[in-house]
Amino acid sequence: MAIKYDAIVIGTGQAGPSLAVRLAGTGMKVAIIERKRFGGTCVNNGCIPTKTLVASARAAHVARRAGDYGVTILSSIAVDMKKVKARKDAVVRQSRQIFYQRWRTRVYSSAPGHR
């Protein structure tokens, strides 16, 4: 059975979900389509993963400069890139889930008849 929509929003990056919420708020029946991963560039490849990697780099930097702050670290500082990547992947996964839940709730709660 064919379903009719008033608007179809393509993409679930930073732009798509907020547009879908606005349109749903005006009473439109809205579909949102994503070809890859919910959250788009920012959540999956952009803002979130880069800042997570930068946080690991900063931790290594601060640890290496611990002596400047009067803190003695008795062993050498090493970066385990497998763990860095695993942490980044976990943060991205969690962010995607939170982003999805938040927008799903907002799209539904904006649409009349879905309160």
**What SS3 state is found at 68?**
helix
Q: What is the 3-state secondary structure (H, E, C) of 31-56?
A: EEECCCCCCHHHHHCCHHHHHHHHHH
Q: Shortest Cβ distance from residue 59 to ligand FAD (Å)?
A: 19
> Minimal distance in Å, beta carbon 49 to ligand FAD?
8
Nearest residue to ligand FAD, using CB?
13
The Cα–Cα gap between 13 and 52 comes to 19
Q: Is 100 in the site for ligand FAD (CB under 6 A)?
A: no
- Measured between alpha carbons, how far is 42 from 34 in angstroms, rounded to an integer? 14
* Between 37 and 87, CB nearer to ligand FAD: 37
Question: Taking CB under 6 A as the criterion, which residues in 34-73 touch ligand FAD?
Answer: 34-36, 40-42, 45-47, 50
Binding residue (CB under 6 A) for ligand FAD from 7, 14, 84, 85: 14
- Toward ligand FAD, which CB reaches closer, 36 or 83? 36
The phi-psi region of residue 100 (left if phi > 0; otherwise alpha if psi is between -120 and 50; otherwise beta) is alpha
Q: Is 15 in the site for ligand FAD (CB under 6 A)?
A: yes
